[in-house]
Amino acid sequence: MALWANISGRAAKALLLVAVALSLAASSCCLQPLSFDEEAWRQKVAATDPAKLYAPHRRPDGTFFNPWMPQNKSAADLLRWWASQNSLPQAEGKQFPTPTVPNDGAYLNDPKAPDSLTWVGHATYVLQLGGRVIVTDPFFSDNVAYVRSRKVPPAFGPGAIPRGSLVLISHNHYDHTDADSVAALAKRDATFVCPLGLGDLLREMGATKVREMDWWQEATVNGSRLVCLPAQHWSRRLGQDYNQSLWCSWLIERHGKRIYFGGDSGYFKGFKEIGRRWPGIQAALLGIGASMPRWFMHYAHINVPEMFKAFEDLGAKLLVPTQWGVLKLGDEPAAWPAQEIREYLQRHPRWQGRVELLPVGGRLLL
């Protein structure tokens, strides 16, 4: 999720005052977006040492970091983005509708239903594998931290999720760990699996069955084999300061299926290493929202070319783009990434037939 929803405490108040001042100053003359050198960025990523994917990633003060390439963005960069003109002027004012289909999720309560993947919206997917249900990054609410509202409602609410389901959390940002959604699923006896440092927050939200995992750790939970894997991101929200909890991606194995859920991540060599160690991934769920402006978002969010590079690195059979169409978190309209993906496929036909742009409520049989 973009930085605007994750500044906490006294710093948030100070930033808000500065942002208001900058907004007033910029109302007559916005700043120009900063340029970004894609080739230099690719070379920087290529120069990282893959051995550092396995390096210690927790500092003595308890905070986490990406040892292969620490983040270098600051609050000043955030304010610069807020005060800048949109980096995608050709999309401003245009309508890019998000496709939706009716779906009440009734089949999720049928243990004999075929294996499937359902898009509830944003990063929330429901896997039904071997009669059991797994939910990713639950977000059923109308808005994100009272700041950003959904463009389309979720396909169905948490009441459609069967009791005793498994819930995977990738990191603590509000559009991936929504308090009301966690509370609702906790009342349905869900088991939550999350990265290190996030367990106490989930318990405060009402979860009682919580398991924390570190990168590269494997476990079998409710009959599903899970691997907690690195991602290139960060964490922060009210109640948890900068990087006090870890972020991750997930590999899910159940009923002969291997699914990768990427959470939020910039492009890094971890995709290649994950694909090497776990070949035969059937579907890769990769987030594509909030990639603009590139000068600000490139570290923590992939763009469309990087998404296809990550897909290739993972060696997956099918690409399922996530986190588009529901929330406007960057300069681009919420559903803009789908248009970018279609145009990319026209220019790169070798990927035709291997990308599934689901509508909200769409169900993909596995």
Residue 28 has pLDDT above 50, yes or no: no
Residue-number span of the structural domain to which 312 is assigned: 106-365
Assigned domain for 86 exists: no
Q: Within a domain: residue 325?
A: yes
- Asked whether residue 42 is domain-assigned, the answer is no
Domain assignment present for residue 100? The answer is no
| pLDDT tens track for 136-162 | 999 999 998 777 899 999 999 999 999
Task: Give domain status of residue 52, yes or no.
Answer: no
Q: What is the model's pLDDT at position 10?
A: 42
Is the pLDDT at 17 greater than 50, yes or no?
no
- pLDDT of the residue at 77: 87
User: How many residues comprise the chain?
Assistant: 366
pLDDT tens digits for 79-122? 898 888 888 888 776 778 999 999 999 999 999 999 999 999 99
**Cβ distance 172 to 198 under 8 Å?**
yes
What average pLDDT score do residues 52-80 get? 93
Query: Which of 265, 252, 345 has its CA nearest to residue 313?
Result: 265
| Averaged pLDDT, 73-83 | 85
Instruction: Give the mean model confidence (pLDDT) for residues 50-72.
Output: 96
Whether the model clears a pTM of 0.85, i.e. scores above it, the answer is yes
Specify the DSSP class assigned to residue 278.
S
Q: Is residue 101 part of a domain?
A: no
> Cα 235 to chain center, whole Å?
12
Residue 130 region by backbone torsions, left for phi larger than 0, else alpha for psi between -120 and 50, else beta: left
The tens digit of pLDDT for each residue in 217-274 reads: 999 999 999 999 999 999 999 888 999 999 999 999 999 999 999 999 999 999 999 9
> Does 339 fall in a domain?
yes
Q: Is the pLDDT of residue 24 over 60?
A: no
Domains of the chain: total: 1
Q: Band of the pLDDT at 29, cuts 50, 70, 90?
A: low
Q: Where is pLDDT greater, at 36 or 25?
A: 36
For residue 3, pLDDT over 50 is answered with no
Asked if residue 84 belongs to a domain, the reply is no
Q: Provide the CATH number for the domain around residue 163.
A: 3.60.15.10
| pLDDT exceeds cutoff 80 at 275 | yes
**How far from 349 is each of 335, 336, 340, 346, CA to CA, in Å?**
22, 20, 14, 6
